[in-house]
Amino acid sequence: MKMQDYESKDGKKVWLSRSEVDTLLDVADGTEQRVAFALGARCGLRVAEVVEVTPDDVVDTEVGKFLRVWEGKGSKYRETPIPTDLAATIAAVGDYRDDSSDTPVVDRTTRTVRNWVTKAGDQLVEETEDVGWSFLGPHDLRRTWGTLLVGAEVEPGLVMEWGGWEDWETFREHYLGAYSLEAQARGMEKIEWL
């Protein structure tokens, strides 16, 4: 876990490693929470976008499954890749329930999703004794997603398109403020005295 102070408010920005994302998903209390956490950490959605996703928003394309975000920040449309297992879970939820396929999968308020992330972070502080989890918020999941993609050598311009960022400076300053732990490990491997 990487952390950095916010410039103008208390608290810290948090970037999770891939294994820490898995740990967070494992403590989710049920399918709805797990989907909410995964939409942030695996698809880069903002909390307001998480509560709008429906089974109809998952589409197959020639290159794989994508999630349509109809009204992102500024009411802008975008498409972002979605992991196959998350797409399958969303489809299963849609098939299982009696609601129509255009009903949100996470049918909660943004405040509820924020509370879920805070509660999961608090639980992980107790389980791991790592106080860093206490700073975790839903936007950190989006920040983590962007950083992990760049760390996996996905073209930054493509990450910006998938995430709905138009300005490189904003993307760099607010989302890529820390190198992923994986990138740091690759760097450390090059230092023979470590």
**Taking all residues of the chain, what is their mean pLDDT, rounded to a whole number?**
92
Kindly report the CA angle at 190 between 186 and 194, in degrees rounded to 5? Answer: 100
Share of the chain above pLDDT 70, in %: 94
Contact (CB, 8 A) for 88 and 60: no
- What's the average model confidence in pLDDT over 71-78? 90
Q: Where are the alpha helices (DSSP H) in the chain?
A: 18-26, 31-41, 47-50, 84-96, 110-128, 138-151, 156-163, 168-175, 181-189
Domain count, the chain: 1
Q: Is the pLDDT of residue 108 over 90?
A: yes
> Is 112 part of any domain?
yes
Structure confidence at residue 52 (pLDDT)? 97
Q: Is the pLDDT of residue 99 over 60?
A: yes
| Long-range CB contacts (within 8 A, 24+) of 48-52 | 48/73, 48/110, 50/106, 50/110, 50/113, 50/138, 51/104, 51/106, 51/107, 51/108, 51/109, 51/110, 51/113, 52/104
Structure confidence at residue 105 (pLDDT)? 96
> Is 54 part of any domain?
yes
> Is 35 part of any domain?
yes
Confidence band of 167 (pLDDT split at 50, 70, 90): confident
> Is 194 part of any domain?
no
Token look-up 């197959």 returns: 60
Q: 0.85 exceeded by the pTM?
A: yes
Contact (CB, 8 A) for 80 and 66: yes
> Is 140 part of any domain?
yes
Q: Is the pLDDT of residue 150 over 60?
A: yes
> Is 113 part of any domain?
yes
Residue 36 belongs to what domain range? 2-189
Q: Is the pLDDT of residue 183 over 80?
A: no
- We report the CATH number of the domain holding residue 137 as 1.10.443.10
> Is 146 part of any domain?
yes
**Could you tell me how many helices (H) and strands (E) the chain has, helices first?**
9, 5
pLDDT in tens, 111-123: 999 999 999 999 9
